[in-house]
Amino acid sequence: MYAEPIENLIKAFSKLPTVGPRTAERFVFYLLRSGKKDTAEITLALKNMIDEIKSCEVCWDFSNASPCTFCSDTKRNPKTICVVAQPQDRETVERTGEYTGQYHILRGTLKPGDEGIARFLKINELMNRIQKNKVDEIILALNPDLNGETTMMYLERQIKKLKPDIKVTRLARGLPMGSDLQYADEITLGSALKNRMSS
């Protein structure tokens, strides 16, 4: 048993994804050894993130402004919306340099047989955007895995029900099945985007 402030920080770090109690322990003792300056830097960065970052109420990305820089950029095509699961996927698509439309971040995916959790994702918000704005194309850029597939099928049904004339497309095949968009290289993803198919 360590002193209480140490135990508390170990517990807090353990909540992070992929960090178990042993790694959390290593983080804490690293910080204790590295002195007050490094630790103050992390504390300040955390505080600034909490204070300054909010949700963009158009695309649901995390940003320091709402609408975010993407949503308020008039040079981007407002009639095409690329739907991604996570902010990191938006970043990956953006890095390809092949896309100049708008984005929508769902903040997660559905699991097969569990459409009930749809209400926790930003799906209603997407439907409202489609309802209120002139949208020509929705690109579904979700991971080529079971959850991504389930989510894309669900979204397709909802979009077609709401606006049957909207073109719904998907990334071209070429991304390995079960892979994670975030780790796709820019050239592969860029060409999957350019060669997207109607679904």
Applying CB under 5 A, which residues contact Zn ion? Answer: 56, 58-59, 68, 71
**Minimum separation from the CB atom of position 55 to Zn ion (A):** 9
Between 63 and 150, CB nearer to Zn ion: 63
| Under 8 Å between Cβ of 8 and 24 | no
Apex CA 104: angle with CA 161 and CA 183, to 5°? 120
**Exposure class string for 80-104: b at 16+ Cβ within 10 A, else e:** bbbbbbbbebbebbbebebbebbbb
The three-class DSSP label of residue 24 is helix
**Minimum separation from the CB atom of position 81 to Zn ion (A):** 11
Q: What residues contact 163, with CB distance under 8 A and at least 6 apart?
A: 130, 131, 135
Q: Sheet containing 137-140: give its strands across.
A: 101-105, 77-84, 137-140, 167-170, 197-198
Between 80 and 150, CB nearer to Zn ion: 80
**Minimum separation from the CB atom of position 51 to Zn ion (A):** 19
Between 59 and 126, CB nearer to Zn ion: 59
Between 56 and 123, CB nearer to Zn ion: 56
**Minimum separation from the CB atom of position 155 to Zn ion (A):** 18
**Minimum separation from the CB atom of position 73 to Zn ion (A):** 9
Between 43 and 72, CB nearer to Zn ion: 72
Between 58 and 141, CB nearer to Zn ion: 58
Output the CA–CA distances (angstroms, integers) from residue 51 to 58, 62, 68, 169, in the order listed. 20, 12, 16, 37
**Minimum separation from the CB atom of position 126 to Zn ion (A):** 12
Sign for the pseudo-dihedral over CA of 130, 131, 133, 135 = positive
| Under 8 Å between Cβ of 22 and 30 | no
